Amino acid sequence: MSGGTVHPGAFPNGRRLRALVDPLFELARGYSGLTAAVAGCFSSGERTFTLPRFRFVGPDAGHEPIRIGLFAGLHGDEWAGCAALAALAASLAAGPGRAAGYELFLYPYCNPTGCEAGTRENAAGRDLNREFWRDSDQPEVRILETELRERRFDGLITLHADDTSDGLYGYTHGRVLNESLLKPALRAAEKILPCDRRDVIDGFSASESVICDCFQGILSAPPEQRPQPFDLIFETPAKAAFERQVCAAVAALEAILADYRGFIAYGQNI
């Protein structure tokens, strides 16, 4: 199901989930550029869970808004990305000019049962980030696939945290635009946490903290969407201090938004 703006009381999740989204609800109550909605809901056990969607609209920039989807909490034990999206919204609300021309859709936790339990997998024991575009029967994946199809994002950014890495890194899926956006984002975030400089990260060959290959079934744009949006995965080291992970992720996100606006402006002047 989908719906309009709602009060936080409409989200019947536990305290952990509310702790993640309360700052976003607080901001939405006082800042007209941010609205909260339900992307979808599902039952697990005897409870109903929801996936919230927050929409941040930046100032008009004289062109159609650039629609970006930002996702966190696909793995329920990776909380820094969830908090980073709330922190990003607060940062942009304090300086909305940096979001000019953007329409951002924030999905702060995509695996509510896993986030509540503190587990990588959802309540059904499934790794949701291996289920996309594979006819998955997992309700969280179906809700997000509907969002991805209906919104037709111009860009996707997914936040993760890796407990096997001591530094920052990201995935570019072998695309030049993705790499051109990720590398400056890593440089911005490296002011807060070091990058992972290994030649092999997460089982893949890496160069300058960038991985071109990726797992199958990850959250991504619909296969049929043309043109394909830019699509980045940004990873923080899960063993680092939580607040430093959050700050590093926010720095990376703000760098990506600034740089992509530059790419758009350059393209319009060609």
pLDDT in tens, 136-172: 999 999 999 999 999 999 999 999 999 999 999 999 9
Please check whether residue 115 lies inside any domain of the structure. Answer: yes
pLDDT at 229 over 50: yes
Residue 263's pLDDT band, with cuts at 50, 70 and 90, is: confident
Please check whether residue 131 lies inside any domain of the structure. Answer: yes
Please check whether residue 2 lies inside any domain of the structure. Answer: no
Please check whether residue 252 lies inside any domain of the structure. Answer: yes
- What's the domain range around 154? 8-269
Mean pLDDT taken over the chain: 91
Please check whether residue 231 lies inside any domain of the structure. Answer: yes
pLDDT at 260: 95
pLDDT at 264: 72
Residue 10's pLDDT band, with cuts at 50, 70 and 90, is: very low
Residue 257's pLDDT band, with cuts at 50, 70 and 90, is: very high
Number of folded domains that form the chain: 1
CATH number at residue 55: 3.40.630.10
Please check whether residue 14 lies inside any domain of the structure. Answer: yes
Average pLDDT over residues 23-30: 91
**What residues have CB less than 8 Å from 185, skipping those under 6 apart?**
170, 232, 234, 251, 252, 253, 255, 256, 259
- Tokens (6 digits) for 171: 């995935």
Higher model confidence: residue 266 or residue 259? 259
Residue 223's pLDDT band, with cuts at 50, 70 and 90, is: very high
Residue 5's pLDDT band, with cuts at 50, 70 and 90, is: very low
- The residue written with tokens 């290959």 in the block is 213
pLDDT at 4 over 50: no
pLDDT per residue over 191-219, tens digit each? Answer: 999 999 999 999 999 999 999 999 999 99
Average pLDDT over residues 126-136: 98
Please check whether residue 3 lies inside any domain of the structure. Answer: no
Question: Which percentage of the chain shows pLDDT scores above 70?
Answer: 91
pLDDT at 116: 87
Average pLDDT over residues 208-231: 97
pTM: 0.93
pLDDT at 16: 67
**What residues have CB less than 8 Å from 169, skipping those under 6 apart?**
162, 186, 195, 196, 201, 202, 206, 209, 210, 211, 235
Contact (CB, 8 A) for 211 and 198: no
pLDDT at 267: 52
Please check whether residue 31 lies inside any domain of the structure. Answer: yes
| Separation CA 118–CA 121 (nearest Å) | 9
